[in-house]
């Protein structure tokens, strides 16, 4: 049984219906739907969605994730322009672009991120952009090509503590992910570096705090921490439902370690309230400068 703090009511609004209709019209995927995010109806009701590029099939087999695994189709050349059109029609002020992992592609899908940013930048409206990316196998040249584009936040999730990687995300590498974040923070300081972790997979408090310290040392300025929820019987079971008080403890610890903004609560997800988190982080920077 889920505790009370994780229970939500399904709310369908005219705005959420409009978002779904628009996504269907342009044949777009969202991580909200494909990853079965518990907040998707709330976000849709606000006219928000996190776009999932490069299809809806992932080449990796992370055991926490609901996204389909297998052999993906080639990238859709119309996808970047269709996302930009959806951003325009939704009146989006803060666009979050993520993707499945595409280890089958020579550039791991980086070009599709680049083209999507370029298409959004053609719009007449001002849009802040957050890219939530896979690790690109740690390829620095690919990362440099991505960071040549005009976006505001670079997000790459480490997802869990290093001890659990072989169980939770066997094709990923904790140190490689830290290296990607450190490379971004060190070489492109004008772009905010962000990461996220899940709890409730069997990690200890000590392991979570060590991971937070690793992320702080790597230059991460925004950290999201949320409760792992099992998408289906095929996925890893929940080891523990973490009490909101411990989420608050993690928030305080992370900010004391030097992370500018820690968004830590049971239903927090990497792109949940991303616009508000970005604006608050910018304001914190501004206050520190003065």
Q: What pLDDT, on the 0 to 100 scale, is given for residue 290?
A: 47
What angle, rounded to 10 degrees, do the helices at 244-256 and 205-217 form?
A: 30
Among all chains, which residue has been given the structure tokens 């690793």? 214
Q: What pLDDT, on the 0 to 100 scale, is given for residue 1?
A: 80
Q: How many CB atoms lie within 10 A of CB 17?
A: 12
Report pLDDT digits (tens) over 253-289: 999 999 999 999 999 999 999 999 999 998 886 666 5
Average pLDDT of adjacent 10-residue blocks, the chain of 290 residues = 81 84 92 77 83 95 92 96 95 95 97 98 97 98 98 98 97 98 97 98 98 98 96 93 98 97 95 93 71
Q: What pLDDT, on the 0 to 100 scale, is given for residue 70?
A: 93
- What the block records as the tokens of 165 is 């990687």
List the domain boundaries for the chain.
Answer: 8-289
As a whole number of angstroms, the distance between CA 220 and CA 260 comes to 8
- Cβ burial of 14 (10 Å; 0-12, 13-18, 19+) is exposed
- What the block records as the tokens of 29 is 């995927």
As a whole number of angstroms, the distance between CA 60 and CA 6 comes to 28
Distances (CA, A) of 25 to 79, 185, 212: 12, 37, 41
As a whole number of angstroms, the distance between CA 204 and CA 285 comes to 32
Q: What pLDDT, on the 0 to 100 scale, is given for residue 130?
A: 97
As a whole number of angstroms, the distance between CA 42 and CA 9 comes to 10
As a whole number of angstroms, the distance between CA 33 and CA 262 comes to 25
* DSSP code of residue 135: -
- What the block records as the tokens of 104 is 């089958």
- What the block records as the tokens of 208 is 């979570």
As a whole number of angstroms, the distance between CA 82 and CA 88 comes to 10
As a whole number of angstroms, the distance between CA 178 and CA 165 comes to 13
User: Helical H runs in 46-109?
Assistant: 79-90
Which fold would CATH assign to domain 8-289?
TIM Barrel (3.20.20)
Q: What pLDDT, on the 0 to 100 scale, is given for residue 7?
A: 80
As a whole number of angstroms, the distance between CA 106 and CA 101 comes to 12
As a whole number of angstroms, the distance between CA 63 and CA 234 comes to 8
Q: What pLDDT, on the 0 to 100 scale, is given for residue 10?
A: 67
The mean predicted confidence, pLDDT, of the chain is 93
Report pLDDT digits (tens) over 181-194: 999 999 999 999 99
Q: What pLDDT, on the 0 to 100 scale, is given for residue 127?
A: 97
């Amino acid at each position: 049984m889920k505790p009370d703090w994780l229970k939500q009511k399904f709310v369908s609004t005219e705005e959420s219906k409009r978002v779904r209709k628009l996504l269907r019209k342009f044949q777009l995927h969202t991580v909200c739907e494909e990853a079965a995010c518990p907040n998707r109806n709330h976000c849709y009701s606000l006219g928000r969605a996190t776009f999932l590029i490069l299809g809806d099939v992932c080449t990796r087999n992370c055991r926490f994730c609901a996204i389909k695994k297998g052999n993906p189709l080639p990238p859709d050349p119309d996808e970047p322009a269709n996302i930009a059109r959806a951003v325009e029609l939704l009146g989006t002020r803060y666009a979050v672009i993520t993707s499945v992992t595409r280890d089958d592609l020579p550039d791991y899908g980086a070009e599709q991120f680049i083209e999507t940013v370029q298409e959004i930048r053609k719009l007449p409206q001002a849009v802040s952009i957050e890219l939530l990316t896979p690790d690109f196998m740690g390829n620095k040249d690919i990362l440099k090509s991505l960071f040549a584009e005009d976006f505001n936040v670079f997000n790459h999730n480490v997802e869990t503590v290093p001890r659990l990687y072989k169980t939770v995300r066997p094709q990923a590498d904790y140190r490689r992910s830290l290296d990607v974040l450190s490379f971004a923070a060190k070489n492109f300081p004008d772009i905010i570096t962000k990461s996220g972790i899940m709890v409730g997979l069997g990690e200890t408090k000590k392991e979570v705090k060590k991971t937070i310290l690793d992320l702080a040392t790597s230059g991460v300025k925004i950290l999201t921490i949320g409760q792992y929820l099992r998408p289906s019987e095929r996925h890893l079971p929940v080891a523990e439902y973490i009490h909101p008080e411990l989420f608050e403890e993690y928030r305080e610890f992370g900010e004391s370690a030097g992370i500018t903004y820690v968004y830590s609560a049971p239903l927090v997800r990497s792109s949940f309230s991303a616009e508000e988190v970005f604006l608050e982080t910018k304001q914190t920077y501004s206050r520190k400068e003065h």
